[in-house]
Amino acid sequence: MHYWKHFKTITEHKLLVMRGCFRLGLYKQGLLHDMSKYSPSEFFVGAKYYQGVQSPNNAERLDIGYSSAWLHHKGRNKHHYEYWLDYSAHVGEGIIPVQMPDQYIAEMFVDRVAASKIYNKGHYTDDIPLKYYQQGKSYALMHTYTREKLELLLHMLADKGEAETFRYIKEELLKRE
């Protein structure tokens, strides 16, 4: 078990997201971001499967076929698009993605940037969050609006950098709400 290493990793991640959210004026979201990672059902799994280079949830999936920590996490954190899945009101449509509010799209973007910085340590570049997203894009059950906004932000980050992307989020994306 890697209690201390896991604690340091999730705390470093949380602090990076908090700083990013504060830059955007999302103070409450910054403070509350990923608090569920400190709950026993997520923390102990994370410590058990800790590797330091990727989410421990991936290792748990490989070991038991699913991630109990992820199932707990995604249902409590609105910055994950998986939180925004619901049954359709129309018979036969099954589960459908729901449009995320812009404030949670912004937090999701900041979360992805922070995770990329944590797991890529000294090798982070602004195109890494986009490359990581593109690896799993085809599997993501995400509302069209949510997908378009997230992709816009990830491409902007890769092309124009963090300062310009954060400026756009704060002055344009979040001003529309």
The pLDDT assigned to 137 comes to 81
Q: Burial level of 175, CB count in 10 A (0-12/13-18/19+)? A: exposed
129: nearest Cα among 77, 165, 84, 78 = 165
Mean pLDDT throughout 13-41? 97
Q: Quick one: pLDDT band at residue 122, thresholds 50, 70, 90?
A: confident
pLDDT digit string (tens) for 72-101? 999 999 999 999 999 999 989 999 999 999
115: nearest Cα among 9, 1, 2 = 9
First-residue to last-residue Cα distance in the chain: 44
Distance CA 141, CA 84 (A): 10
Answer yes or no: are the C-beta atoms of 84 and 97 closer than 8 Å. Answer: yes
Give the residue carrying structure tokens 């800790």.
50
Q: Quick one: pLDDT band at residue 54, thresholds 50, 70, 90?
A: confident
The pLDDT assigned to 156 comes to 98
Average pLDDT, the chain: 95
Q: Quick one: pLDDT band at residue 142, thresholds 50, 70, 90?
A: very high
Mean pLDDT throughout 149-173? 98
User: Which residues, other chains included, contact 27 with Cβ-Cβ below 8 Å and sequence gap of 6+?
Assistant: 21
Answer yes or no: are the C-beta atoms of 75 and 83 closer than 8 Å. Answer: yes
The pLDDT assigned to 176 comes to 66
pLDDT digit string (tens) for 66-80? 999 999 999 999 999
Residues facing 87 on adjacent strands:
95
- Residue 84 sits at the vertex; the CA angle it makes with 38 and 115, to the nearest 5 degrees, is 45
DSSP label at 99? P
Answer yes or no: are the C-beta atoms of 119 and 54 closer than 8 Å. Answer: yes
pLDDT over 70 for what percent of the chain? 99
The pLDDT assigned to 177 comes to 53
